[in-house]
Amino acid sequence: MTTLTATPNRIAQYWALTKPRVTQLAVFCAVIGMFLATPTLPDMRVVIYATIGIWLLAGAAFAVNCLVEREIDSRMARTARRPMARGEISVLQTLIFSGVIGGLGMWILYAFVNPLTAWLTLATFVGYAIIYTIILKPATPQNIVIGGLAGAMPPALGWAAIANDVPMQAWILVMIIFVWTPPHFWALALYRRDDYAKSGLPMLPITHGLPFTQFHIWLYTIALFATTMLPYAVKMSGLIYLFSAVVLGLIFLGYSWRIYRAYNDLLARRTFTYSIIYLSLLFLALLVDHYLTF
C-alpha cells in the first residue's frame, strides 16, 4: 500500500514546486498574447507548443524560487507547507527537476515555435529565478517593482511565439502587468505583514510601514488605470475593451482608495483576490474585443 501511494504523493510535491496557480495566470496572459498577435486565428499547433514550453520554463523558474527561499518559506504560515520548506524534496532533486522541465521547455520552444520565443523565455527565467529571487528580493523593498518585469513578460512571449516579433502592442501588455504587480503584491504583504516580518524579507509594509504602503497602492492603481487606457489610445482595441477596462479599473480604484483611507486586513485580502480576477478579466476583454472588432 505504501508503494501505491508514494508515487501520487511525490508527483503532487513536484507539481507544487511549480506554483501551479501562479503559473496558470502567467500562461493565460501568454496565450492571450498569442491570439492578439494576429487578426485571424493563430496556428493552433504553435499555440499548443508555445503554451507547453512557456508553462515548463515558468514551472522551472518557480521551482528554483522554492529552492532558494525554502528557509524563508518555512518561517511563514502561507508557505510553510511547500515541499521544499517541509524538507520533502531535496536540493538535488529540485535542481534536477527544474533542469529537466526547463530544458524540455526550452527545446520545445526552440524546435517547434521559434528561437526568439525560446531566448526571451529563457531570459525571463533568469530574470525571475536569479535576478529577482536571489538578488533583488532580499535586498530592497522595491523588489516587487524592479523585479516585476520578469513576471510581466508572458504576453510578449506569447506574441513572439506567433509573430516572431515583439512590437509596441506586446510591450503595452507587458507594461500593464508591470504596473499591476506592485498593488497586487503589496495588498498581500499588508495582510500577511506578520509573516513577512518573520521571513526577514524587506517588504514595503515592514520597512516603511502600513500608511506608506497603503498610499503607494493607491498611486500605483491610478497609474494602472491610466496604463490600461493605452490599448484603446493606440487603436489596438475598441470600445468593448475600453468599457471593460474602465469598469474593472474603477472597482480596483475603489478597493485601493479604501485601503488608503480606511484600512483593515480583510479589505487587503479582498483587494488581493480582486487583483487576480481583475487581470484575468482585463485580458479576456482584450481577446473578446480583438475578434469582435476585427
Structure confidence by residue, pLDDT tens digits, 56-106: 999 999 999 999 888 888 888 888 888 888 888 999 999 999 999 999 999
User: Total structural domains in the chain?
Assistant: 2
Q: Do 192 and 144 share a domain, yes or no?
A: no
Mean pLDDT of the chain: 92
CATH number of the structural domain spanning residue 110:
1.10.357.140
44-61 residue pLDDT tens: 999 999 999 999 999 999
243-254 residue pLDDT tens: 999 999 999 999
- Split at pLDDT 50, 70, 90, the class of 137 is confident
| Domain enclosing residue 102, as ranges | 1-166
- Taking residues 270-293, report their average pLDDT: 95
Alpha-carbon span 13 to 36, nearest angstrom: 35
Is pLDDT of 130 > 60? yes
- Taking residues 201-223, report their average pLDDT: 94
**CA-to-CA separations, 80 to 88, 92, 199, 235, 246, in angstroms, rounded:** 12, 20, 11, 46, 38
- Split at pLDDT 50, 70, 90, the class of 3 is very low
Q: Which of 114, 138, 166 is the last residue of a domain?
A: 166
Q: Do 132 and 250 share a domain, yes or no?
A: no
Is pLDDT of 159 > 60? yes
- Which 3 state secondary structure label does DSSP give 42? coil
Q: Do 228 and 96 share a domain, yes or no?
A: no
**CA-to-CA separations, 235 to 62, 176, 264, 289, in angstroms, rounded:** 35, 16, 40, 11
Q: Do 160 and 187 share a domain, yes or no?
A: no
- Split at pLDDT 50, 70, 90, the class of 8 is low
Q: Do 39 and 88 share a domain, yes or no?
A: yes
Contact 188, 196 (CB under 8 A): no
Q: Do 137 and 184 share a domain, yes or no?
A: no
Q: Do 171 and 161 share a domain, yes or no?
A: no
Alpha-carbon span 242 to 69, nearest angstrom: 40
Query: Considering the chain, what percentage of its residues have pLDDT values greater than 90?
Result: 73
Cell match 479604501: residue? 258
- Split at pLDDT 50, 70, 90, the class of 4 is very low
> Residues near 263 by Cβ (< 8 Å), separated by ≥ 6?
190, 210, 214
Q: Do 242 and 294 share a domain, yes or no?
A: yes
How does DSSP classify residue 175? H
Q: Do 47 and 178 share a domain, yes or no?
A: no
The pTM assigned to this predicted structure is 0.92
Is pLDDT of 2 > 70? no
- Split at pLDDT 50, 70, 90, the class of 197 is confident
Residue predicted with more confidence, 150 or 234: 234
Q: Do 220 and 156 share a domain, yes or no?
A: no
- Which 3 state secondary structure label does DSSP give 39? coil
Q: Do 117 and 203 share a domain, yes or no?
A: no
pLDDT at position 6, please?
47
Q: Do 116 and 195 share a domain, yes or no?
A: no
